[in-house]
Structure 1
Amino acid sequence: MNVKFNGRTVEIEEQNVSLYDFLLSKQFELGRLVVELNFEIAPREKWRDIILKDNDTIEVLRFVGGG
């Protein structure tokens, strides 16, 4: 299955991969993310329940501190 992740096509070999597991596989610090799935914000409490499908579009925004 292929998904578009932050503008790039990524192949996922496993089936039934949750959004949560996908984000973990990309080694994100999950506490500081906003995730858009197919142009809608994916609620954090649903990440484990959302199963990715072929051609899904995922955009990840990270919050960083600075001064």
Structure 2
Amino acid sequence: VARLPAFIVYCSTIDACADLEDYRRAGDWTREAKTFCDDRDFSRWVGICRVHRAELWRLHGAWEVAA
């Protein structure tokens, strides 16, 4: 799977889950996206994905990590 299209799918899915307030699923997709990027040396996380990841950390009480 090509990196950029796959990343766009991951990011769009995380965005949709967050919009639906399905934070468990958003967290699952976030972990999978991180694994996908790490395995392919693709460290690029666009702004909205960083926002969603921080939002998930905040919801779990990890304020320092979220910041």
Bigger strand share: 1
Q: Which has the higher contact order (CA 8 A, sep 6+)?
A: 1
TM-score (norm 1): 0.26
